A = this chain, B = another copy of it.
Amino acid sequence: MKPVNLLLTNALVLTMDEKLHQYEPGAVAVRGDSILAVGAEAEMRAEYSAAQVFDCGGKVLMPGLVNAHTHAAMTLLRGLADDLRLDVWLMGYVMPVEREFVSPDFVQLGTRLACAELIRSGVTCFADMYYFEEEVAKATAEAGLRAVCSQTVLKFPTPDAASYEDSLAAARDFIQRWKGHALIEPSVAPHAPYTCTPEILRATAQLAVEFDVPLHTHLSETALEVENMRKASGMPVIPYVRKQGLLDAKVLAAHCVHVDEGEIRTLLHANAGVAHNPSSNLKLASGFAPVQKMLEVGLNVGIGTDGAASNNDLDMFEEIRLAAFVAKAVSNDPTAVPAATALSMATRLGAAAMHLGALTGSLEPGKRADLILVDLAPVHNAPSFRREAHNAYAQIVYASKATDVTDVMVNGKWLMRDRQLLTLNEAELLLAAQEYARHIDTFLIEREQSILSKLVALGGSTEAESFEVQVKVKLADPAAVQEALCRPEVKIIYQRHYHQHDNYFIFSDPSQGRLRYREDESIGAKGEVVSVRARLTLLGPAREGDFAHDVLLSRSRYLAPAANSLRFYREYFTPASVVPIDKVRLRWLVNFRDTEFYVNLDRFETPNLGNYLEIKSRTWSRKDAEHKAQLATELIILLGGSLKKTVTQDYIEIVAQH
């Protein structure tokens, strides 16, 4: 009789090894942190004398689930904002909130909250990617879970680094200090090809190779990403990252939704692992990953939940079921990705995808004792057919729930017994998490109260408030203006020719002002479009003052380059209505009596409002404004405008009346 610490008996043992051995009743012998033997209960009892015998009560005993891709700390942002397009969700909500709130404390708490949910739902091992990854590692090790912890590197400043050089240095330091930990495999995460420079991809791959640790990244998540990559580099994403040397590392690639057969083979030859994230891909409408093809060629495809901010939970039972469901629906073949395959993805294949296949993912002698008990007694699991080996997998995959997990062991240590967490205090976590949610809600409520603060939250402002003196007249003969500009009193500094496509966002509260999204097409000498520039301007709600002859003082409250699409801003600001205006503008910067003025000669195309002449000048003081108002009047007369035809309304007001 060989001595062991623990013998788990009276279980339906699903080893999830490559041959899918099952034992009923089966037993597992644990010595220290590892599995010594797995087999039929009678034989195991005859062979091993156990310090402790644990009766599993007829439950399913199987390897713990492997969540191959998540951002654990983002559990604190679960339900922050939903049913939004990816860019609105990410740039409008998640990133502003992360800029404001993500700190070592946030990451610690978020990770512990995630660990509580992961343990409860039978996960024993996960792959994480976030900021302050040191805190993720600490919290995870304390909770007793196994994880690949990947320090994120981005080309932008992040909550934990002012530059990517800082991130890289932090990643190296993190890897050096955690390498060899019993539970934590440190790793580096170049976020994605479109958020990293080629230098970052190369440097992170070299770092991962140097320390022989996994490299965790997002690849080919959306069709747009692939399209942009093709435009920019003439190839799709996988060949591009291979060119940067990324595949020299032990890669764990999340998503791989839009990859072709050649790319799948490239990943296979590089021994890269793939993390399939069905909920996230469905919820964000990213597309359907070719999971069946990847499995057919022999890729290690695991299953991940992605972050709880985009899922919105860490429930691997749901993901496993979806992996099977979606593969069937997309291939139009209900035999695709059968239950045993889906469950293998969530255990053995997932561990292999994370490059931890030697350590965990199945119940086999020599692997770590990472295991769970699943109770099939709840009514939603009844009855149990046991005609074929397949029945048990189908039951777990298609009927069982995360809440059926009763006991969880990692590295030979119990983390949950009879649904009681042993390493985390849930009540404390829930209180602290709710405190964060309240602060974040307050922050967002304040922000959402004004269009201006929503604008500022996006970041990237170039200018805040400015004042302008302006006068505008309707013109019968625009050609006369161009002639008049040749007169000696007017010195032309430069001339521009634009085709301006404006969209005015109108809000139900007029005190919020109006937001203008303008695309300026700069037109060259031959009528060709030389360049396009998009800008966002928040216009003051009303005139700030006026002078003689309808000269106005107006206020432009905010001006920024519009880095995102019109659609993004429409969904982010949710205006009551959007009014498009198209016009051709000839614009001059002139010097008139030692003062600079902009002269705009506008011809409206949509709607057809005719021609207008506008004189504008920036101003900084009341006195300056009065002076410029007088000069503007003189200039407008000089250019052939009639003071009897002045217009005090903005173009958008004219259009609204039209």
Q: Is A384 touching B85 in the complex (CB atoms < 8 A)?
A: no
The answer on a CB contact under 8 Å between B84 and A285 is no
Flag whether A150 is at the interface (Cβ < 8 A): no
Query: A307-324: contact bitstring with B at CB < 8 Å (1 yes, 0 no)?
Result: 010011111001001101
Closest chain B CB from A320 CB (angstroms): 12
Cα A386 to Cα B325 in complex, Å, equals 33
Of the listed stretches A228-236, A398-406, A544-552, chain B binds A398-406
Q: Does A504 contact B (CB under 8 A)?
A: no
Copies of this chain held together in the complex: 2
A392 to chain B, nearest CB (A): 9
| Contacting residues, chain B, for A308 (C-beta < 8 A) | 399
Residue on B nearest A386 in the bound complex, by CB: B441
Shortest CB-to-CB span from A91 to chain B, Å, is 14
Q: Is A282 an interface residue (CB 8 A)?
A: yes
A394 to B81 Cα, complex, angstroms: 8
The answer to whether B379 touches A426, judged by C-beta atoms less than 8 angstroms apart, is yes
Cβ of A367 within 8 Å of any chain B Cβ, yes or no, is no
Query: Residue A20 at the B interface, CB < 8 A?
Result: no
Chain B's closest residue to A396 (CB) is B79
- Chain B, Cβ-Cβ closest to A398: B312
Q: Are A387 and B120 in contact (CB under 8 A)?
A: no
**When the two chains form the complex, which single residue of B282, B311, B571 contacts A335, counting CB atoms closer than 8 Å?**
B571
Among B288, B382, B383, B426, the residue within 8 A (CB) of A329 is B288
**Interchain CB contact (< 8 A) of A338 among B79, B82, B399:** B82
B401 in contact with A329 (CB, 8 Å): no
Q: How many residues of A contact B (CB 8 A)?
A: 77
A113, CB-defined interface residue at 8 Å: yes
Give the residue name and chain of the B residue nearest to A78 (CB).
B399
* A120 cross-chain contacts in B, Cβ below 8 A: 379-380
For residue A200, CB closer than 8 A to chain B, the reply is no
Q: A325-B282, A401-B401 are in contact. Are A312 and B444 (CB under 8 A)?
A: no
**A334 touches which one: B76, B283, B399 (CB < 8 A)?**
B283
Pick the contact of A313 from B282, B334, B399 — CB < 8 Å? B399
Q: A468: shortest Cβ distance to chain B, in Å? A: 36
Contact yes or no, B78 A382, CB < 8 A: yes
Closest 9 CB pairs of A and B: A383-B437, A83-B338, A282-B325, A312-B398, A82-B394, A383-B433, A282-B329, A285-B334, A403-B403
